[in-house]
Amino acid sequence: MRNPLSDLIVQIPPSGIRKFFDIVSEMEGAISLGVGEPDFDTPWHIRDEGIHSLKKGRTFYTSNAGLKELKIEICRYLERRFHVNYDYTDEVMVTVGGSEAIDIALRAMLNPGDEVLIPQPSYVSYVPCTVLAGGVPVEVQLEEKDRFRLTKDKLLEKITPKTKILILPFPNNPTGSIMEEEDLREIAKIVEEKDLFVISDEIYCELTYKGKHNTIAALPGMKERTVLINGFSKSYAMTGWRLGYACAPAVILKQMLKIHQYAIMCAPTTSQYAAIEALRNGDEDVERMRGAYDERRRFLVKALRDMGFDCYEPQGAFYVFPSIKRFGMSSDAFALKLLEEEKVAVVPGTAFGDCGEGYLRISYAYSLKDLKRALERIERFLKKLDAKE
């Protein structure tokens, strides 16, 4: 029999997270701080709107780009929150999560051999999606000394004549770093000079703890060069609804829509109706959840520092990214040992790129009670480590 598989897909390694997931799943009684989704349920009024749409028999496809009402609400929201204007008729599309938007944006824009700058550590899908779209991923290292922000110098170092796209994954998973307006201005200048495009993944935009999120698309001259990606998963605790969106200049969006049309048809109809309610009446929920995350963030950072971790204070998302360099162990080894000895699951930093070596990602999408229980175990683990030294 012939090899049934594509060489391209076979050479892409499975997600580092997957490997760790398999080990954790086997372990009885493990407590996990490894989750990348909110612990809150979707607010009831949003769920109710989804249920209502089903009761009314709204069970058909929507148009490819999504419900008109939803696209209009998305534009209003972006205007209201981040002062960026999009035309709902040809600059917005609703996708199956932010993930789909990342994939189709890359596929719509890349020609074979085009280079994509990917700041790392970052979410796991940028590199494989780039490869699948025929592009060449180029890592740009985010460093703790820069507060894990993307700097001008780091960016310039990696730009070549083949560079076409810069991915901006802020607020950042896994480091919790953000980009302030000043930081973005510097980046925007280079993007314009070097004639690049930006894919800005802003899925954590509502979860910032020191002031409001800034989008690069709102800077002068940037909207024409930016695909803004966002979604409902993190802001409204709607991960399972699989709903995101992309906003882009019409010429790019038109091609993205073509891929979406052939591969997906449309995002889930029920989820779209629920999302309209989220955007219309969900501000208080967002604020309530942000407040809870913020409490946990402060609690967790202090607790980790008190027990001897060197820990950058995250400003966004719901992760802390403490350094474990002083223990002289790899991230993988540390995470595995912590799991085996104290049954606490955290994600090794290397799951988010090689430069995550020496770090762990700890999620605070957990109740304070759960966090405390896990922290007691981590503290015991550190004491044992320190005693051995």
User: Of the candidates 148, 224, 153, 158, which has an alpha carbon nearest to the alpha carbon of residue 180?
Assistant: 148
- Please give the Cα distance from 50 to 34 (Å, whole number): 29
Q: Which of 58, 254, 299, 379 binds other proteins (CB under 8 A)?
A: 299
Q: Which x/- pattern over 170-199 shows residues binding other proteins (rule: CB under 8 A)? A: ---x--------------------------
Number of residues that bind other proteins (CB under 8 A): 27
Cβ atoms within 10 Å, residue 337: 15
Phi and psi angles of residue 248, each rounded to the nearest 5 degrees, phi first? -160, 165
CB of 1 vs other proteins, minimal distance in Å: 34
- Please name the residue that has the structure tokens 């249920």: 51
What's the one-letter identity of residue 54?
A: L
Q: Which one among 152, 210, 212, 298 touches other proteins, defined by CB under 8 A?
A: 298
Q: Does residue number 124 form part of the binding site for other proteins (CB under 8 A)?
A: yes
Using the rule CB under 8 A, is 296 a contact of other proteins?
yes
Type of residue found at 376: E
The verdict on 142 binding other proteins (CB under 8 A) reads no
Q: Which is nearer to other proteins, 199 or 216 (CB)?
A: 199
Burial profile 54-74: b = 16 or more Cβ within 10 angstroms, e = fewer = eeeeeeeebebbbbeebbebb
Residue from 82, 123, 241, 364 in contact with other proteins (CB under 8 A): 123
If binding is defined by CB under 8 A, does position 351 make contact with other proteins?
A: yes
User: Binding of other proteins at residue 72 (CB under 8 A)?
Assistant: no
- Min dist. Cβ of residue 30 to other proteins (A): 7
Q: Is the separation of the CB atoms in 219 and 188 below 8 Å?
A: yes
Q: Which of 295, 340, 354, 386 binds other proteins (CB under 8 A)?
A: 295
Question: Does 106 engage in binding with other proteins (CB under 8 A)?
Answer: no
d(CA 30, CA 345): 7
Farthest CA pair distance, the chain = 66
Which spans of this chain sit near other proteins (rule: CB under 8 A)? 15, 17, 20-21, 24-25, 30, 32, 34-37, 39, 123-125, 173, 295-296, 298-299, 302-303, 345, 347, 351, 368
